[in-house]
Amino acid sequence: MKLLLTILGLLLLLYLVAGSWLYLKQRTLLYFPSPPIETDYDTMTVHNEGERIHITLTNPGQPHALLYWGGNGETVAAGAEIFAKALPHYSTYLIEYRGYGHSSGSPTETGILSDALAVYDAIKAKHQDISLFGRSLGTGVACYVAAQRKAKRLILITPYDSIESVARDRYPIFPLSLLIKDKYNSLERVPDIHANTIILIAEHDTVVPKTHAYRLAKAFPATQVEVYEVPGSHHNDIAQTEAYHQILKRVFDER
């Protein structure tokens, strides 16, 4: 009996240590700030809550605008040439999260979401309409903005229902509803989203298993959402497939 109690005590200690580590390190597991890079494209800065949010801008002055939020380790400015060539009729704003690239501060959900609204409000008067585009982590940001502001369309690439839900699959033994600080609950925002929504899902996504994307998609009214599963694709290579570009070309040609 004494040996059993000792073993149980050690297991409990390991559980508490692991849970504490997960709690303390969770943001380093979620955010992977990318280094600053320089491009030949225009840039702008939006100031919010004492932070500087850096944005790379392609095709300025167009009537249609696109706000883009990338993945948790993405250098969004590196995609400027792709957006510039693929969307000549859109002014595209590639937004660096707090603590990413040239932006100041440290990434947190409350800060990133506040910055996202600040960017939207800073550019809305310049354009006839605004579309929102999020990839991976950025889908949670795009959903938040779509629930708070008017958007012509919402494009979500490899999205999730919530970060908490994804984490629960990975760490099922921990009470994640109590531990997670940054939940990015897109699912609960769906009732407030009125934009036409396009969702692209990677067939072999192991980073954000596609069950989470489908759970989000099913929460939208069927008349509001288009869902595409891109064959043969993974979380990080979906944008390299021909199907991905064909779908988005059709979407954005419908200006």
Which of 81-85, 95-99, 159-163, 173-177 has the least mean pLDDT? Answer: 173-177
Residue 90: strand, helix, or coil: strand
Q: What is the pLDDT of residues 209-246, one digit of tens each?
A: 999 999 999 999 999 999 999 999 999 999 999 999 99
Q: Alpha-carbon distance 117 to 109, whole Å?
A: 13
In this prediction, residues 47-62 reach a mean pLDDT of 97
Query: Across the beta sheet with 51-58, what order do the strands follow?
Result: 42-48, 51-58, 90-95, 64-69, 129-135, 153-157, 196-202, 225-230
Q: Please report the pLDDT score of residue 192 as a whole number.
A: 98
Would the pLDDT of 36 be above 90?
yes
Q: What is the pLDDT of residues 148-182, one digit of tens each?
A: 999 999 999 999 999 999 999 988 888 888 889 99
> ∠ CA(39), CA(42), CA(44), 5° rounding?
110
Q: Please report the pLDDT score of residue 173 as a whole number.
A: 87
